[in-house]
Amino acid sequence: MATIEVTLDNFNDAVSEGITILDFWAPWCGPCRGFAPIFEKASEENPDVTFGKINTDENQDLAGHFQIMSIPTIMVFRDNIRIFSQPGALRKKDLDNLITQVKALDMDEIRAKLEDQGK
């Protein structure tokens, strides 16, 4: 699947179902530009995962909501639940490993843990 541009308007739709990996970035950011081909390659290799890019210059509201302090920041959602968030570019093998781990998660178990935390 191609990488999509995520904004405030389509954010909820982007993360509502399945696995979504977001790259918070900016055009002037050197490490962001270096990570872009890795992110694109992973999106081509994982058509069952949604890959989205959030330009922090154009989407300061989203960046502020998630308290993005450095870019790139990688954030992973599964079924509208934030699973992972980390500043810094990932190497290809680390991104592949992250995707494998997120695919293997038992979401019923995750939801139960979140419900217990809310009590």
- Assess contact for 31 and 74: CB atoms under 8 A: no
Q: Which residues, in sequence order, are CB contacts of 53 under 8 Å at separation 6+?
A: 3, 4, 5, 6, 22, 23, 25, 39
Handedness of CA 63, 20, 97, 107 (dihedral sign): positive
pLDDT in tens, 26-53: 999 999 999 999 999 999 999 999 999 9
Instruction: Kindly report the pTM of this predicted structure.
Output: 0.93
Cα 73 to Cα 52: distance, rounded to the nearest angstrom: 12
Q: How confident is the model at residue 10 (pLDDT cuts 50, 70, 90)?
A: very high
**Catalytic site positions:** 29, 32
**Average pLDDT value for residue range 91-106:** 97
**Starting from the edge strand earliest in sequence, which strands make up the sheet with 19-25, in order?**
4-5, 50-55, 19-25, 73-78, 81-87
